[in-house]
Copies of this chain bind each other. A is one copy, B any other.
Protein backbone atom coordinates (compact mmCIF):
# COMPACT_ATOMS: atom_id res chain seq x y z
CA UNK A 1 0.00 0.00 0.00
CA UNK A 2 1.18 3.49 -0.78
CA UNK A 3 2.68 5.07 2.29
CA UNK A 4 0.81 8.31 1.82
CA UNK A 5 -2.51 6.51 1.86
CA UNK A 6 -1.76 4.17 4.74
CA UNK A 7 -4.21 4.23 7.59
CA UNK A 8 -1.70 5.81 9.95
CA UNK A 9 -0.93 8.57 7.48
CA UNK A 10 -4.55 9.30 6.74
CA UNK A 11 -5.18 9.77 10.45
CA UNK A 12 -2.21 12.09 10.74
CA UNK A 13 -3.30 14.22 7.82
CA UNK A 14 -6.89 14.40 8.97
CA UNK A 15 -5.93 15.28 12.54
CA UNK A 16 -3.92 18.37 11.58
CA UNK A 17 -6.68 20.69 10.42
CA UNK A 18 -9.03 19.51 13.15
CA UNK A 19 -6.55 20.07 15.96
CA UNK A 20 -5.66 23.42 14.44
CA UNK A 21 -9.26 24.53 14.27
CA UNK A 22 -10.56 23.27 17.60
CA UNK A 23 -7.55 22.70 19.81
CA UNK A 24 -6.53 19.49 21.52
CA UNK A 25 -9.31 19.14 24.06
CA UNK A 26 -12.16 20.16 21.76
CA UNK A 27 -11.16 17.90 18.91
CA UNK A 28 -12.63 14.41 19.29
CA UNK A 29 -11.12 11.14 18.13
CA UNK A 30 -14.39 10.21 16.48
CA UNK A 31 -14.35 13.38 14.40
CA UNK A 32 -10.78 12.74 13.32
CA UNK A 33 -11.41 9.10 12.45
CA UNK A 34 -14.51 10.06 10.48
CA UNK A 35 -12.53 12.62 8.51
CA UNK A 36 -9.79 10.08 7.85
CA UNK A 37 -12.30 7.36 7.01
CA UNK A 38 -10.73 4.93 9.42
CA UNK A 39 -12.02 2.93 12.31
CA UNK A 40 -12.39 4.54 15.72
CA UNK A 41 -9.74 2.28 17.25
CA UNK A 42 -7.07 3.26 14.72
CA UNK A 43 -5.76 6.18 16.75
CA UNK A 44 -5.07 4.03 19.76
CA UNK A 45 -3.75 1.22 17.61
CA UNK A 46 -1.19 3.34 15.79
CA UNK A 47 -0.46 6.19 18.18
CA UNK A 48 -1.27 4.75 21.59
CA UNK A 49 -3.54 7.58 22.60
CA UNK A 50 -4.93 10.92 21.51
CA UNK A 51 -2.16 12.89 23.14
CA UNK A 52 0.61 11.18 21.21
CA UNK A 53 -1.31 11.70 17.97
CA UNK A 54 -1.41 15.39 18.79
CA UNK A 55 2.31 15.53 19.42
CA UNK A 56 3.05 13.80 16.14
CA UNK A 57 0.74 16.24 14.41
CA UNK A 58 2.62 19.23 15.82
CA UNK A 59 5.90 17.69 14.69
CA UNK A 60 4.48 17.20 11.22
CA UNK A 61 3.28 20.78 11.14
CA UNK A 62 6.76 21.99 11.94
CA UNK A 63 8.27 19.84 9.23
CA UNK A 64 5.70 20.80 6.64
CA UNK A 65 5.90 24.50 7.48
CA UNK A 66 6.69 25.42 3.96
CA UNK A 67 7.81 28.94 3.27
CA UNK A 68 4.66 29.72 1.38
CA UNK A 69 5.34 33.44 1.46
CA UNK A 70 9.10 33.76 1.28
CA UNK A 71 10.80 37.07 1.86
CA UNK A 72 11.71 38.90 -1.31
CA UNK A 73 15.39 39.44 -1.86
CA UNK A 74 16.01 43.15 -1.97
CA UNK A 75 18.68 44.86 -3.98
CA UNK A 76 20.98 47.33 -2.25
CA UNK A 77 19.20 50.28 -3.79
CA UNK A 78 15.76 49.27 -2.61
CA UNK A 79 14.29 52.07 -0.53
CA UNK A 80 13.62 51.18 3.10
CA UNK A 81 10.09 52.51 2.64
CA UNK A 82 9.52 49.89 -0.03
CA UNK A 83 11.04 47.21 2.15
CA UNK A 84 8.78 48.10 5.04
CA UNK A 85 5.73 48.05 2.86
CA UNK A 86 6.60 44.64 1.50
CA UNK A 87 7.39 43.40 4.99
CA UNK A 88 4.03 44.58 6.30
CA UNK A 89 2.22 43.11 3.32
CA UNK A 90 3.98 39.81 3.91
CA UNK A 91 3.11 39.75 7.61
CA UNK A 92 -0.51 40.48 6.87
CA UNK A 93 -0.67 37.84 4.19
CA UNK A 94 0.86 35.30 6.54
CA UNK A 95 -1.35 35.87 9.52
CA UNK A 96 -4.38 37.94 8.75
CA UNK A 97 -6.34 36.24 6.06
CA UNK A 98 -7.80 33.47 8.15
CA UNK A 99 -9.16 31.41 5.31
CA UNK A 100 -5.88 30.95 3.56
CA UNK A 101 -3.87 30.25 6.69
CA UNK A 102 -2.68 26.69 6.30
CA UNK A 103 -3.50 24.42 9.17
CA UNK A 104 0.16 24.06 10.01
CA UNK A 105 0.40 27.75 10.87
CA UNK A 106 -2.86 27.59 12.78
CA UNK A 107 -1.54 24.77 14.91
CA UNK A 108 1.70 26.60 15.64
CA UNK A 109 -0.17 29.83 16.46
CA UNK A 110 -2.20 27.85 18.96
CA UNK A 111 0.97 26.72 20.63
CA UNK A 112 2.25 30.28 20.71
CA UNK A 113 -0.68 31.79 22.56
CA UNK A 114 -0.08 29.27 25.33
CA UNK A 115 3.70 29.01 25.21
CA UNK A 116 5.29 25.76 26.27
CA UNK A 117 8.93 24.79 26.32
CA UNK A 118 8.60 23.70 22.70
CA UNK A 119 7.70 27.27 21.83
CA UNK A 120 11.15 28.56 22.64
CA UNK A 121 12.62 26.78 19.66
CA UNK A 122 9.87 28.15 17.46
CA UNK A 123 10.64 31.67 18.57
CA UNK A 124 14.34 31.28 17.84
CA UNK A 125 13.90 29.66 14.45
CA UNK A 126 10.89 31.50 13.16
CA UNK A 127 9.99 34.71 14.92
CA UNK A 128 13.34 36.13 15.84
CA UNK A 129 14.71 36.09 12.29
CA UNK A 130 11.57 37.82 11.06
CA UNK A 131 11.79 40.40 13.82
CA UNK A 132 15.49 41.05 13.24
CA UNK A 133 14.76 41.65 9.60
CA UNK A 134 12.14 44.20 10.55
CA UNK A 135 14.51 45.97 12.91
CA UNK A 136 17.11 46.30 10.18
CA UNK A 137 14.52 48.03 8.01
CA UNK A 138 13.71 50.34 10.90
CA UNK A 139 17.40 51.19 11.22
CA UNK A 140 17.49 52.22 7.60
CA UNK A 141 14.48 54.45 8.07
CA UNK A 142 15.97 56.58 10.81
CA UNK A 143 18.95 58.86 10.43
CA UNK A 144 20.23 58.44 13.96
CA UNK A 145 21.21 55.53 16.17
CA UNK A 146 18.47 54.10 18.37
CA UNK A 147 18.77 52.44 21.74
CA UNK A 148 18.02 48.73 21.89
CA UNK A 149 14.85 49.49 23.80
CA UNK A 150 13.71 52.06 21.27
CA UNK A 151 14.13 49.96 18.20
CA UNK A 152 12.57 46.94 19.86
CA UNK A 153 9.57 48.97 20.92
CA UNK A 154 9.19 50.35 17.41
CA UNK A 155 9.33 46.81 16.09
CA UNK A 156 6.64 45.67 18.50
CA UNK A 157 4.49 48.64 17.50
CA UNK A 158 4.59 47.56 13.87
CA UNK A 159 4.10 43.86 14.57
CA UNK A 160 1.34 44.71 17.03
CA UNK A 161 -0.59 46.62 14.40
CA UNK A 162 -0.40 43.64 12.05
CA UNK A 163 -1.29 40.93 14.54
CA UNK A 164 -4.18 42.94 15.87
CA UNK A 165 -6.11 42.17 12.71
CA UNK A 166 -5.80 38.50 13.45
CA UNK A 167 -6.17 38.29 17.21
CA UNK A 168 -8.99 40.79 17.36
CA UNK A 169 -10.52 39.86 14.04
CA UNK A 170 -13.76 38.75 15.66
CA UNK A 171 -14.22 41.94 17.63
CA UNK A 172 -13.21 44.13 14.72
CA UNK A 173 -15.84 42.46 12.57
CA UNK A 174 -18.43 43.20 15.21
CA UNK A 175 -17.37 46.82 15.53
CA UNK A 176 -17.44 47.92 11.92
CA UNK A 177 -20.59 48.03 9.88
CA UNK A 178 -21.13 44.79 8.02
CA UNK A 179 -21.49 46.55 4.70
CA UNK A 180 -17.94 47.92 4.81
CA UNK A 181 -16.33 44.97 6.60
CA UNK A 182 -14.53 43.85 3.49
CA UNK A 183 -12.96 47.26 3.19
CA UNK A 184 -11.44 47.07 6.65
CA UNK A 185 -9.82 43.73 6.01
CA UNK A 186 -8.70 44.56 2.50
CA UNK A 187 -5.08 43.55 2.25
CA UNK A 188 -3.93 46.56 0.26
CA UNK A 189 -5.77 49.04 2.45
CA UNK A 190 -4.26 47.50 5.55
CA UNK A 191 -0.79 47.31 4.11
CA UNK A 192 -0.86 50.92 3.02
CA UNK A 193 -2.21 52.20 6.29
CA UNK A 194 0.13 50.31 8.60
CA UNK A 195 3.12 51.17 6.44
CA UNK A 196 2.27 54.85 6.23
CA UNK A 197 1.33 55.06 9.89
CA UNK A 198 4.61 53.46 10.93
CA UNK A 199 6.81 55.46 8.61
CA UNK A 200 5.13 58.66 9.71
CA UNK A 201 5.72 57.67 13.31
CA UNK A 202 9.36 56.75 12.86
CA UNK A 203 10.13 59.88 10.86
CA UNK A 204 8.44 62.15 13.35
CA UNK A 205 9.40 60.33 16.52
CA UNK A 206 12.48 62.41 17.08
CA UNK A 207 10.62 65.71 17.11
CA UNK A 208 7.83 64.34 19.25
CA UNK A 209 10.03 63.06 22.04
CA UNK A 210 11.06 66.56 22.93
CA UNK A 211 7.54 67.91 22.74
CA UNK A 212 6.23 65.00 24.74
CA UNK A 213 8.56 65.82 27.59
CA UNK A 214 6.79 69.16 27.78
CA UNK A 215 3.40 67.44 27.60
CA UNK A 216 4.40 65.20 30.47
CA UNK A 217 5.20 68.25 32.48
CA UNK A 218 1.80 69.74 31.65
CA UNK A 219 0.14 66.47 32.61
CA UNK A 220 1.99 66.45 35.88
CA UNK A 221 0.97 70.01 36.64
CA UNK A 222 -2.66 69.17 35.91
CA UNK A 223 -2.51 66.16 38.19
CA UNK A 224 -1.17 68.38 40.94
CA UNK A 225 -3.98 70.85 41.05
Contact A164 B170 (CB under 8 A): no
Interface status of A196 (Cβ within 8 A of chain B): yes
With CB as the reference atom, state the residue of chain B lying closest to A170.
Answer: B115
The 8 Å CB contact of A174, one of B120, B160, B161, B172, is B120
Contact A175 B215 (CB under 8 A): no
Contact A119 B153 (CB under 8 A): no
Contact B175 A115 (CB under 8 A): no
Interface stretch among A31-39, A43-51, A75-83? A75-83
A153 partner residues in chain B, CB cutoff 8 A: 184, 189-190, 193, 197
Contacts A112-B168, A201-B201; is A119 near B174 (CB within 8 Å)?
yes
Contact B194 A199 (CB under 8 A): no
Interface status of A165 (Cβ within 8 A of chain B): yes
The 8 Å CB contact of A156, one of B120, B172, B183, B198, is B172
Interface status of A123 (Cβ within 8 A of chain B): yes
A190 partner residues in chain B, CB cutoff 8 A: 153
Closest 9 interchain pairs by CB? Answer: A160-B164, A201-B201, A200-B204, A115-B170, A204-B204, A200-B208, A200-B201, A160-B161, A123-B174
Interface size on A, residues (CB 8 A): 72
A200 partner residues in chain B, CB cutoff 8 A: 200-205, 207-208
How near does chain B come to A99, taking the closest CB pair, in angstroms? Answer: 15
User: Which A residues, 190 to 225, have Cβ-Cβ distances below 8 Å to chain B?
Assistant: 190, 192-205, 207-209, 211-212, 215-216, 218-219, 222
Contact B209 A167 (CB under 8 A): no
With CB as the reference atom, state the residue of chain B lying closest to A77.
Answer: B222
Interface status of A68 (Cβ within 8 A of chain B): no
> In whole angstroms, how far apart are the Cα atoms of A119 and B150 in the complex?
35
A79 partner residues in chain B, CB cutoff 8 A: 215, 218
With CB as the reference atom, state the residue of chain B lying closest to A120.
Answer: B174
With CB as the reference atom, state the residue of chain B lying closest to A83.
Answer: B219
The 8 Å CB contact of A183, one of B113, B120, B149, B209, is B149
> In whole angstroms, how far apart are the Cα atoms of A215 and B88 in the complex?
14
The 8 Å CB contact of A131, one of B131, B175, B203, B211, is B175
> In whole angstroms, how far apart are the Cα atoms of A216 and B86 in the complex?
10
